[in-house]
Structure 1
Amino acid sequence: MSTDAAGSWDNEYATGTRYVADEPPVGFVAEILALAKAHGVESGMYLGCGNGRNFIPLSDAGLELVGLDISATAIEQLTERAPRYAGRLVVGDLTALPDGQRYPLVIALQVIQHGNREQVHGLLADTLARVDDGGLFAIRVNAVGTDVRHTHEVIERDPDGSFSVRYTAGPKAGLTVHFWAAAELDAAIRAAGLVPVARLRPESTWREPAEAGQWLQWEGVYRR
């Protein structure tokens, strides 16, 4: 677990700039719930659960989720918001989970993008290894086509169109973030033995003001 990344997220949550209490969940949550129900899935693990924006509605809808996040501040805030789930929350990365533990559902929203290409591919592989046979994997990540908002330098580009940046200003100054190409992401997930049940598609969010451009993510659900 990167102490720089953990500290950066702790600061965002502590200063109230990340996911305030009344911020609604992403629309993808409804699709995850519908597909979990359709496949008879009732439990799982949420990697990067933060302070509960999506974790709480997913859990309140009936999913028994283990919530995992590298930010102790986020977990503290989530525990305060929903003490009924305190026993399911873990501070740390995947290594904080029991060795070999796999889950019927693994959720990773806006987390498998922190690092350079090699690092995020490694994190994706480690995350996919936690998906049980017949289990579902729901992912949402930064996509190429995003208008990168804060001052940054591009540190790598790949022929498939993906790229990684290191922020030089803003809340993630000093951190590296990867922007995935669709073919890159789909191929990496399929190579681990999963097939799509909800194909990857782009989800665009326009920033305010509009001159700041759009933030684009890939969303999709796969099954082992």
Structure 2
Amino acid sequence: MILPIDMSQDEDPRVSVYIRVRWKLLTCWFNLLSIAYQPIALYCDWKEKRGEWDHVNVKKWRKIRDYMMTSILFPTTMYSDFFFWRMWFKNPALIAPVAIFKYLPSWAQHSLHTVSGVMVMLDILTLPRKRPKSILPGLMGLVGFCCLYSTILVTSYYSGEVVYSFLDMFSRSQLFLLGLLAFTEHFFFFTLQWCIVDLVWGKTQTAEKKD
């Protein structure tokens, strides 16, 4: 949504620099991951409809599909959407210079931060899954992603590119608490999805075992 928009000619340097900064937004990251996820999901669906769901190659791609969604896409997208709207209603300037938002149509924020959450929730609700024997590998993937993204934010900040305005507005203690809250919320959404999977698909799997 925001990638084709050219802000480089804006007179405000805080806006013109966004031509580079936008690639470091969490929204951009999970949307790019979603683009990679879609063809994998479509391939798996196509193979399953052909009755080839148990082929070795299909099993491999199904594992990749489920890992991408449950380890990164669902918790990250849900966190990002909820975080954005909390900041937006409190003060949009906490997210980015307000002048940036004039480049976006009024419906753009819902396209970026509402539809995305609805789509990943629908994926969890409609695609049959079961809780893995251990959620640790998925959790480690999420922690690794969060650590990588946090490193990008910190290195960008000290190189003079402030990805989010609140990084310049909050004290270090506030940023520490915000970071701790971010990891906690990611863990919450990671856990929530498995509760949803158990609730929606648990009875179906139990019935299949009895049959």
| TM-score using structure 1 length | 0.27
Larger Rg: 2
Q: When you count strand as a share of all residues, which structure comes out higher?
A: 1
- By relative contact order (CA 8 Å, sep 6+), the higher-ranking structure is 2
Structure in which a larger fraction of residues adopt helix: 2
